[in-house]
Amino acid sequence: MRIRSKFFSKKVTIEGITFDSKKEGEYYLKLKQDLKDGLIRDLELQKEYVLQEKFKVGNKTRRQITYKADFSYISTEDDKLHVVDVKSPYTVKDKVYRLKKKLFEYKYGMELEEIIWIQDKWKKITFKWKILMII
């Protein structure tokens, strides 16, 4: 019996790399072209960030909390690090993801960029007043 993804996405393999969704794989190809064009450098896939170290409570050890970003890279225009997650209208609302996003931004002092495919374009999204805004 095949187990379905929580958000009904289908894994896809591109150049021997397996992505959690078709859109994530397509965004990888876009970033790869940006790398070739010299717009970005130091592209990393599935980089893991520690949100909270492991700790002990009494005689029990609690595991560390981590977040795995889809992509991270440095833009050559401003030498800025970008940490990016490709989202769908459904995955962007996931409560565990929203919490990890806040923990990431608090610990690392930078925005976790969310990218979504809308109307044949990649768009960065932000939440304001609980309304999804496209910028």
Does the residue 63 lie in any domain? yes
Does the residue 2 lie in any domain? no
Does the residue 1 lie in any domain? no
Structural domain of residue 122, as residue ranges? 12-134
The pTM for the full model equals 0.78
pLDDT value of position 130: 38
Quote the number of domains for the chain.
Answer: 1
List helix spans (H) across the chain. Answer: 22-36, 95-108
Does the residue 6 lie in any domain? no
pLDDT tens figures, 28-44: 999 999 999 999 999 99
CA dist 117 and 23 (Å) reads 7
pLDDT tens figures, 56-78: 999 999 999 999 999 999 999 99
Does the residue 57 lie in any domain? yes
For residue 75, the domain's CATH number is 3.40.1350
The two structure tokens encoding residue 99: 């919490």
Whether residue 102 is predicted with pLDDT greater than 50 in this model: the reply is yes
CA dist 86 and 24 (Å) reads 6
